[in-house]
Amino acid sequence: MIEIGKFIVGVLIVLGSLLSILTTVGMLRFPDTYTRGHAASKSATLGIMLILIGTALYFWITEGYISGKVILGIVFILMTTPVASHLITRASYNNGVALWKGSVRDDLEKKYKQQKKQ
């Protein structure tokens, strides 16, 4: 029973690290800041959540106690990483970082011009 649990833990952690390297591939290959932010927030969040779920499961299986700190870390990461990505992407838009040439619509542009006129 413990061996099956350890196998599940190993699979969870390898899946999380594969999602983490998917983040790196996205950061290296996407053309502009906004798509890179898209890659950096979602897959990194899911990857670290899988790894921390595996850690909590490991300590629950082998030692027999549920670690509140790890569960708190999972909830904290789930709440804060998208917020941080949103803030840094909005800062780059307000600094005038250009979109990729192939992007077709920019909904914020009209609103931004209206704000400048006022």
- The answer to whether the beta carbons of residues 50 and 19 sit under 8 Å apart is yes
Residue closer to another protein, measured from CB, 80 or 106: 80
Contact 27, 45 (CB under 8 A): no
Gap between the Cα atoms of 99 and 93, Å rounded:
9
When asked if residue 60 is in the footprint of another protein (CB under 8 A), the reply is no
Q: Could you tell me how far CA 31 lies from the centroid of its own chain? A: 18
d(CA 47, CA 24) in angstroms, rounded, equals 12
Q: Which of residues 79-108 bind another protein (CB under 8 A)?
A: 80-81, 83-85, 87-92, 94-95, 97
Binding interface with another protein (CB under 8 A): 6-7, 9-11, 13-14, 16-18, 20-21, 23-25, 27-28, 33, 36-37, 40, 44-45, 47-48, 51-52, 54-55, 58-59, 62-63, 67, 69-70, 72-73, 76-77, 80-81, 83-85, 87-92, 94-95, 97
